[in-house]
A and B are shown apart, each in its own frame.
Chain A
Amino acid sequence: MPNASPPWRVGVDTGGTFTDLVLVDGDGVIRATHKLLSTPDDPGRAVLEGIAKLLGADGVSSATLATPPAVVHGSTVATNALLEGKGADAALVTTAGFEDVLTIARQNRPDLYATVPRRPPPPIRRAMTLGADERTAFDGSVITPLDPHTLDALTQQLARLNPESVAVCLLHSYANPEHEQQIAQAIRDKLPGVHLTLSHELLPELREYERAATCAANVVVGPTMSRYLTRLDRELDGHHLRIMGSGGGTLPVGFVCDRPIETVTSGPAGGAIGAWAMARAASIDRVIGFDMGGTSTDVTLIDGGPTRTTHTTIAGLPIRLPMIDIHTVGAGGGSIAHIDVGGAMRVGPESAGALPGPACYDRQRPDQPLATVTDAHAVLGHLPDGRRLGDSLVIRRDAAVHAVRDLAQHASLSDEETALGVLRIADVAMARAVQQISVQRGYDLRRFTLLAFGGAGGLHACRLAEVLGMTRVLIPRHGGLLSAVGMLAAPPRYSFSHAAIATLTADASGRYPDPLGLPAVQHATETLRRRGQDALERDGVHETEQHLGLFLDMRYAGQSHELSIPLGPGDIAELFQQEHERLYGYAPTGRDIETVTARIEATGPAPEVRSATGEQAGIAQRPCQRTVPVTDRDGVTNWPCVQREALMPGQKHTGPMLIEEYAATTVVPRGWNLEVLADGQLSVTR
């Protein structure tokens, strides 16, 4: 490093509508933020424009920037390529006889009562799928060897198909990768430069459909992502670029070009890391991240760190790589309420989106009013008439009332009752999403804090907490761009897995042997440890700062789902039994235990990010408190309404009150108390 002080850094989150940017100085203090419209035709344009704008902000001069700031970037490029089916024309090589693996999937249909059931079309066309005459058995032994003629014929066929990228996924390749390696070599010789993904490298785990789907998704988004990132890296000349991964860590550009699917939920992962950073700043270990936007809501559970899952589904495809466990529900501020044919009120999944948007934005056609969740807030006074949201929107309560009245008449309720009902249904739907990632997995929500962000998070947080039996809510600063904040708080982080198939049999006293003594497990963990160390070393992470977490997926013989047990001191088999007992309420004794997959999480140090203190941010006390009429279950009363900027650390208030900021509002209902923390976060408790 040429200069002693650590460099400034920029976090850039490219979303569907907005590109959010956050600049931190060498100490991790947030110095500037910027939000601009995304440029979907060329997402890099908004990134470059935004960075230029940030570096020209007040208090940021070239003098303070000895070197161009490093950039951490998350984008929806990979996700959109999958969702919109606009990825590469990729090819797939399977074991002969299994070419339809992506079409057959798991045989089940997504919608039980659709008269004409269908699954989404597979990401790789059947005509681009080739079978290789070869076969490996479950134990890795070769049944049908791969002969040179087969390889020749295969690569010639592939050359004729002229794919942009190729995935190779052969049966049982996790147990013996030889055939995949031979095919890879032949493809590299015949089609040099083609993007190639081998299933034993990307996901060396049992279950052929999930492995093939993950690999297919990788090669479908690969070429698009590689082109985008290579160009952006060039255009960001002098800035060091890293990419936000779905697992909650940052990754080098070259790595992401090979494994782009690892970034498929980079935005929400940034949000989860941002939530975790804000929680730590408030000395909280357990939070539910609640990111409510216009069309959907993302929830995530953090228990001493974000939780991860290998069961993410994107565009109907299972992506079995470890990602931060984010559950999305189709309810947001723009969700449309209607009365269905049976007389029940439904909220969503249809959304008014950004256009025409909620009725109170006054862009809907007056003859087709659509009452949304945001309109319910306008009717009740949470968003008072004339309130400015961001730079361009002004709330018109009469338009909201007009839209809600239509619904109220259908339901034979008053406008206000209807609006309260819309919010109640939205809250119950979101509560269900939170329960799915918490209660249904054995967590006690009473020990968690609800950390609310996104445009609508603060409007719902306290009521949602009540529905869930939670007593504390945290509203961070920069809630509108917490994903970009999180990208700056993310450490370098890699996840790898390796098959480790072995059986543990209990002795007469019921004790199991140490799995680390078994050759398959030993080989797997050693290979993984080396891989993790190598990756971090290439990032310049010193050995002493490397954290290598090893895990072993285990199950009782006969089960088909595994529990991931951390490898450390202590009896691993016993830890597995305890975890089984904790999650499922019973643990059979004496039954064989199988080890299936070993995993490593290799992590470097996490950079610190914090909000500027009041003084640094140039906040002045502005006593501009007013009252506004708000309707709740007890009727209409005048609630105090203050500007977020006017709240000083240490201040305490009692609900009800409204807190307004640039593009968000926090509702603090009766029975809730507010305290402003030292870093400006709002802690709301009951």
Chain B
Amino acid sequence: MASYPSPDDLMLGTPGDPIELEVFRHLFASIAEEMGERLMRSAFSPNIKERRDFSCALFDKHGEMLAQAAHIPVHLGSTPMSVRAVIEAFAPSVMQAGDSFVLNDPYRGGTHLPDITVVQPVVLPGHTDGPAFYVANRAHHADVGGIAPGSLPISAHIDEEGLRLPPQRLDDDAIDRIAHASRTPDERRGDLRAQAAALRLGAQRLAELVASYSLDTVTQRGQQLQAYAQRVIEGVIAGLPDGVYTFEDVLEDDGRGNTDLEVRCALTIQGRRATLDFTGSADQTAGPVNAVRAIVVSAVDYCFRCIAPTDLPGNGGVMRPISVVTRPGSIVDATHPAPVAGGNVETSQRLVDVVFGALAQAAADRVPAASAGSMNNLTLGGTDPRHGRPFAYYETLAGGAGGGPEDTGGDALQTHMTNTHNTPVEALEHAYPMRIERYALRDDTGRARGRHSGGLGIVRLYRFLTDVQATLLTERRVHPPYGLAGGSAGTVGVNTLIHADGQREALPGKCSQHLPAGSAIEIATPCGGAWGSAAPETPPDPSTT
């Protein structure tokens, strides 16, 4: 944008002015949105462009988020930790305009290795005391090395999951290093450049905003917007009855023989504050379903945002009235060298389930039954016979949403911590040596019944035209998503290997296999739980009849 109204416009600018709050909500959101638009348009990989598995955000000089382009909830609480990791690793006083930093280390500001975060300081001309703001984006890279194509392996150690990047400068060397580690180096270079270019744009916009309004004003408005989000969430908490509400659910297995790993939330509501204690969760485990603490914070942030009575700016104020307690070494606060590939995608969904399960006891009229509870991750890799180059492909599949107090759950939706698009069948078949033979809703008999039924999952069948290494990271294959208020539970997902001769073989929720050309995998995703006891006659869901 060329310019903003003169500072004279700010005669109404008393602290917390209701007009200024709304004006700056628009101004900050607009910058985040423009960065997102730029990244989506200029990125190389279908993963960012088609599936939109990325997010962009602005931060104040302390690393508190000011706005996030609404893309992926699991990035909400975790991107700020990336920015703080950069601030800790590099003295802000030496940062200069144009610097770029990169990281994906789950133990230092990241979540899992494919999610690469790029951070840039916004150093204003003439200011010598370090950055006034930061801009950051996080994008899912389809391959960062490791033992399986797609870098979401059934790993036993973080080092098997790919290249780990502690906070470091994003220079040509770093880009080369990342590209070199990846099975698809060209994509990595294109995507990383696109991430950096989008941030430069964001930094420029923030500098323009300061030029129009003064640094003090922009800084102050950022703080006031955080206070605003805090007030709204405090109001939500104050409206809940004081007490302790606990809920537990399990991760079915870690892919390495350990089953029914407990995820437990004890929610304490006291006045305007909430404490969510996850220390009762299982110890970190051998397989890749460990989550780092950032993911817990994201899940809690998301759940409170959902039950807030108004849409809130994506900023740090939401979490101020909320304490999150985790135990280092547990499955929801993993420490080195625990494998974490699935923590971001699977454990994050279970975290939402337990937070909502606890909240439902305090706010039965606002909380839905459990949704699919799995991102149904499939990664594939091999050599494309059409041109002899390696390929790596990743996608997540929609499932059924849980029914809620006021509405039935929708079919075939990305729920809770993700909101990626699918890769169109036609685009996928152009780009990769495989064929989709079926992409449909699951049979209606899987629909959870209740006053508000759950949504249906989907079935997607992949036929491989070349030998592939296929890895599945899925959950809710044993225990279905729960129902609430008397509604029935949802339906579990089913993974099936179909051999070239048509013979079907059940696959576990998590596995990695080498499959020959001509074989196929069919994934049926879970259906959401229902809300409320069934009325005598449940009317058919209008979206499917």
A residues with a Cβ closer than 8 A to B are 97-101, 103-109, 112-119, 121-122, 125-127, 137-138, 143, 171-172, 206-210, 339-347, 410-411, 413, 417, 420-421, 424-425, 428-429, 431-432, 435-436, 439-440, 444-446, 466-470, 501, 556, 558-561, 583-586, 588, 591, 633
User: B306 near A435 (CB under 8 angstroms)?
Assistant: no
Highest count of chain A CB atoms <10 Å: which of B197, B421, B461, B543: B543
Write out the residue numbers on chain B whose beta carbons fall within 8 Å of the beta carbon of A112.
70, 73, 419
Q: Is B412 close to A, CB under 8 A?
A: yes
Cα A468 to Cα B8 in complex, Å, equals 16
Q: Given A108-B421, A109-B415, A583-B41, do A118 and B407 touch, yes or no (CB 8 Å)?
A: yes
Question: Please, which residue of chain B has its CB at the minimum distance from the CB of A439?
Answer: B1
**CA of A610 to CA of B93 in the docked complex: distance in angstroms?**
62
User: Is B320 part of the contact surface with A, judged by Cβ < 8 Å?
Assistant: no
Q: For chain B, residues 248 to 280, give those with C-beta under 8 angstroms from any C-beta of chain A.
A: none
Can you offer 28 A-B residue contacts whose CB atoms are under 8 A? A97-B461, A100-B439, A103-B543, A104-B458, A112-B70, A113-B302, A113-B305, A113-B311, A116-B406, A117-B415, A119-B543, A121-B543, A137-B435, A206-B430, A341-B235, A344-B228, A345-B18, A413-B19, A435-B34, A446-B2, A466-B5, A469-B1, A558-B45, A558-B186, A559-B49, A560-B46, A560-B427, A561-B41
- C-alpha gap A561/B190 in the complex (Å): 14
Interface contact A584-B311, CB-CB below 8 Å: no
Chain B nearest CB: distance from A22 CB in Å?
Answer: 35
Q: Choose one: B12, B200, B368; the contact of A421 (CB below 8 Å).
A: B12
* Contact call A100/B440, Cβ cutoff below 8 A: yes
The 9 A-B pairs of least Cβ separation, nearest first, read A469-B2, A421-B19, A116-B404, A584-B42, A97-B438, A469-B3, A107-B398, A118-B410, A344-B21
Known: A208-B424, A343-B21, A633-B8. A109 touches B439 (CB 8 A): no
Structural contact, B73 and A439, CB atoms closer than 8 A = no
Return B99 CB to nearest CB of chain A, in Å: 17
Bound Cα distance A142, B404 (Å): 45
Chain B residues in 8 Å Cβ range of A585 = 42, 197, 200
What is the size, in residues, of chain B's interface with A at 8 Å between Cβ atoms? Answer: 101
B411 lies within 8 A of A103 (CB): yes
Q: Which residue of A lies closest to B428 (CB)?
A: A138
Instruction: Render B391-410 as a binary contact track against A, CB cut-off 8 A, 1 for contact.
Output: 00000011001111011111
Determine the chain B residues whose CB is within 8 A of the CB of A583 once the complex forms. 41-42
B11 within 8 Å of A (CB atoms): yes
Is there a chain A Cβ closer than 8 Å to B118's Cβ? no
A103-B412, A417-B12 are known contacts. Are A138 and B1 too (CB-CB below 8 A)? no
Q: Which residues of B contact A104 (CB under 8 A)?
A: 398, 411-412, 422, 439-441, 458
Chain A residues within an 8 Å CB radius of B437:
97
Measured CA separation A627–B407 after assembly (Å):
56
CB distance from B50 to the nearest CB of A (A): 5
Residue numbers in A under 8 Å from B412 (CB-CB): 100, 103-105, 107
Chain A, interface SS category: loop
Q: Is the Cβ of B426 less than 8 Å from the Cβ of A208?
A: yes
**B230's closest neighbor in chain A, by CB?**
A342
> Which single residue of chain A is at the shortest CB-CB distance from B423?
A560
A114-B306, A118-B410, A561-B41 given as contacts; is B422 within 8 A of A107 (CB)?
A: yes
Stretch at the interface among B24-32, B129-137, B175-183: B24-32
In angstroms, how far is the closest chain A Cβ from the Cβ of B169? 19
Q: Is the CB of B413 within 8 A of A117?
A: yes
Does the CB pair A207–B18 fall under 8 Å?
Answer: no
A435 B413 Cβ-Cβ under 8 A = no
CA distance A468 to B310 in the complex (A): 28
CB B354 to nearest CB in A, in angstroms, measures 16
Q: Cβ of B409: which chain A residues have Cβ within 8 Å of it?
A: 116
B171 lies within 8 A of chain A by Cβ:
no
- Chain B residues within an 8 Å CB radius of A411: 18-19
Please tell me if the beta carbons of B197 and A586 are within 8 angstroms of each other in the complex: yes
Neighbouring B residues of A413 by C-beta, 8 Å: 12, 18-19
Name which residue of chain B comes closest to A446, CB basis. Answer: B2
Query: Do A591 and B16 touch (CB < 8 A)?
Result: no
- Cα of A60 to Cα of B16 in the assembled complex, Å: 60
CA distance A559 to B431 in the complex (A): 10
> A116, B368: Cβ atoms under 8 Å?
yes
* A103:B415 contact, CB within 8 angstroms: no
B309 located at the interface, meaning its Cβ lies under 8 Å from any Cβ of chain A in the complex: yes
B410 touches A99 (CB 8 A): no
B503 at the interface (CB under 8 A from A): no
B425 at the interface (CB under 8 A from A): yes
Considering the complex, give the chain A residue whose CB is closest to the CB of B407: A116
Query: CA–CA, A501 to B430, complex, Å?
Result: 10
List the A residue with the shortest CB-CB distance to B422.
Answer: A107
Residues of B contacting A98 in the complex (Cβ-Cβ under 8 angstroms):
425, 438-440
Given the known inter-chain contacts A98-B439, A114-B306, A558-B45, please indicate yes or no for A343 contacting B543, CB distance below 8 A.
Answer: no
Q: Which of A127, A342, A585 has the most chain B CB atoms closer than 10 A to its own CB?
A: A342
- Bound CA span A277–B30, Å: 31
State the CA gap A478–B3 with chains docked (Å).
31
B537 contacts the other chain (CB 8 A)? no
Chain A residues near B402: list those with CB within 8 A: 116
Q: Which residues in chain B, 217-240, are within 8 Å of chain A measured between CB atoms?
A: 228-229, 231-232, 235
In the complex, the answer to whether A106 meets B407 with C-beta atoms within 8 Å is no
Which residues of the other chain, A, contact B413 by a CB distance below 8 angstroms? 107-109, 117-119
Please tell me which one of the listed residues A97, A470, A584 contacts residue B439 in the complex, with CB atoms under 8 A apart: A97
Contacts of A122 in B (CB 8 A): 543
Closest to A105 in B: B412
B203 → chain A closest CB, angstroms: 13
- Shortest CB distance B217–A (Å): 15
Whether A584 contacts B41 in the complex (CB less than 8 A), given A109-B419, A343-B21, A425-B22, comes out as yes
Say if the beta carbon of B38 comes within 8 Å of chain A: yes
- Residue B506 interfacial (CB < 8 Å): no
Residue of B nearest to A633 (CB): B11
* Closest B residue, CB atoms, query A559: B44
Given contacts A117-B401, A208-B424, A585-B197, contact A342 B232 (CB under 8 A): yes
Provide the bound-state CA to CA distance between A208 and B21, in Å: 42
Are B27 and A428 interface neighbours, CB within 8 A? Answer: yes
**How far apart are A497's CB and chain B's nearest CB, in angstroms?**
15
Q: Is the CB of A421 within 8 A of B18?
A: yes
User: When the two chains form their complex, are residues B458 and A561 in contact, meaning their CB atoms are under 8 A apart?
Assistant: no
User: Which residues of chain B from 165 to 208 have a CB within 8 Å of any chain A CB?
Assistant: 186-187, 189-190, 193-194, 197, 200
B420 CB–A CB distance under 8 Å? yes
* Pairwise interchain contact A108-B414, C-beta atoms closer than 8 A: yes
Nearest residue (CB) in A for B71 is: A112
Query: Is residue B445 within 8 Å, beta carbon to beta carbon, of the partner chain?
Result: no
Is A106 a contact of B422 with CB atoms below 8 Å? yes
Additional A-B contacts beyond A113-B308, A633-B8 (17; CB < 8 A): A104-B398, A104-B441, A107-B398, A109-B414, A116-B403, A171-B426, A206-B424, A343-B18, A344-B228, A425-B22, A431-B26, A440-B38, A445-B2, A469-B1, A560-B50, A560-B427, A584-B38
Task: Decide yes or no: A99 and B440 within 8 Å by CB, A117-B401, A206-B427 being known contacts.
Answer: yes
CB distance from B445 to the nearest CB of A (A): 15
In the complex, A206 Cα to B426 Cα: how many Å? 6
Is B70 in contact with A344, judged by CB distance below 8 angstroms?
no
Judging by beta carbons under 8 Å apart, are A345 and B19 in contact?
Answer: yes
Q: Of A118, A420, A444, A501, which one neighbours B2 at CB under 8 angstroms?
A: A444
Shortest Cβ gap from B372 to chain A (Å): 11
Chain A hits for B408, CB < 8 A? 116, 118
A516 to B13 CA separation, bound complex (whole angstroms) = 60
Contacts of B422 in A (CB 8 A): 104, 106-107
